[in-house]
Amino acid sequence: MSLSNATGRFQFSGAAAFAAVGRLVAAVTVCLAVAASAQASDRWLRSYDEAMEAAERTGRPVLTIFTGSDWCPHCVTLEKKVLDSQQFLAWAENRVVLLMIDLPQQGISQDERNARSRVCIKYGIRTFPNTVLIAPDGAKIMAQSGYHGQTPEAWLAALEKHVPAPVLAGNPEDGDDDDRILSSIDEAVETARDTRKPVLLLVSRPSDSAAKTRVATLIKDPEFDSLTRENFVVAQVPPQEEQALGQAAGAPADLLGGEDLPPEAVEVIVTEDGETPIHVESGSQTATRIVTGLRRFLANRQAARQTDARR
């Protein structure tokens, strides 16, 4: 059987016709895949400064992938299996700013290579691929090296628990994603009397979006959340509410924020009476270090109570 045009000049066997159609379908599929990949890659910023500006503007953390696109096979697999997937792109849409720091062997200028290398040094990146979640203030929230073949769902599940809620300046409800976080010292002290727990104050300026992001990140940290739910009454307050706190004990005003609270600063203060600080941590530390300090405080407090009981 053959197919011919009206003039009979061209003849194709049935097998040749099907082969031609197959090649056409394959070509269209490749074009669509390339177009989809290009559309996905367009969502990624390539400049660290631009990503941080977007993070500050939106209040979203920066999900940064450190990769070597032309020499790192695991990087390529991560991109194809996870980062180009519809599950990932839908998840990232309103949660994070996407940044890709690519250090290929070829294809970029020396100036660009130096700029990207500085970002690697800043966040301690030594192996690729590497995933780092960065707060809008530039602090590293979490890091994960390598790719071990996870599905998009599994990869996202490991990441999701570390992603804080977006925090925008000027919104009084930002950063408080838990109704257990109180908003005044008086309310916290009154609640503490009923529960016999100490009060933990998270002090930051309401207009400071970077500081509020730090607080939101800390509140969402699983270890911090578990520890404070069980052992503290937590309140998030601005520094002007702290003027009396510490002065009765002769503590300096800047210990509580006050007029000297630096930009982006957060103070973590424990008090029992709303007037005297008995433990202080800097909110610029990692959540792990803050939790370690609070655990040490609780252990010392328990030991002191046991000593008093034996007297």
**Residue that terminates a domain, selected from 160, 177, 211:** 160
Does the pTM of the predicted model rise above 0.75? no
The per-residue pLDDT for 14 is 55
Both 218 and 274 in one domain: the answer is: yes
The per-residue pLDDT for 167 is 57
* Structure token digits, residue 112: 């660009």
Residues 62-105 have pLDDT tens digits of 999 999 999 999 999 999 999 999 999 999 988 899 999 999 99
* Residue 4 lies inside a defined structural domain of this protein: no
> Where is 145: in which H helix or E strand?
strand 140-145
* Structure token digits, residue 80: 């194809």
The per-residue pLDDT for 117 is 97
Which amino acid is residue 215, in one-letter code?
A: V
Tell me, what CATH number does 306's domain have? 3.40.30.10
By residue range, what is the domain housing residue 94?
43-160
* Residue 175 lies inside a defined structural domain of this protein: no
- Of 307, 279, 284, give the one whose Cα is nearest residue 295: 279
Both 145 and 232 in one domain: the answer is: no
Residue ranges for the chain with pLDDT beneath 70: 1-42, 165-179, 240-260
Query: How far apart, in whole angstroms, are the C-alpha atoms of residue 102 and residue 47?
Result: 10
Give the count of domains, the chain.
2
Count, residues in the chain: 311
- What would you report as the CA-atom Rg of the chain, rounded to the nearest whole angstrom? 27
For residue 129, say if its preceding peptide bond is cis, omega within 30 degrees of 0: yes
Both 202 and 134 in one domain: the answer is: no
Tell me the CA distances in angstroms from 87 to 23, 64, 122, 207, one per residue in order. 30, 17, 30, 35
Residues 244-259 have pLDDT tens digits of 444 444 443 444 544 4
Query: How far apart, in whole angstroms, are the C-alpha atoms of residue 40 and residue 30?
Result: 15
Rounded (5°) CA angle 91-169-56? 55
* Residue 306 lies inside a defined structural domain of this protein: yes
* Residue 165 lies inside a defined structural domain of this protein: no
* Residue 80 lies inside a defined structural domain of this protein: yes
The per-residue pLDDT for 284 is 84
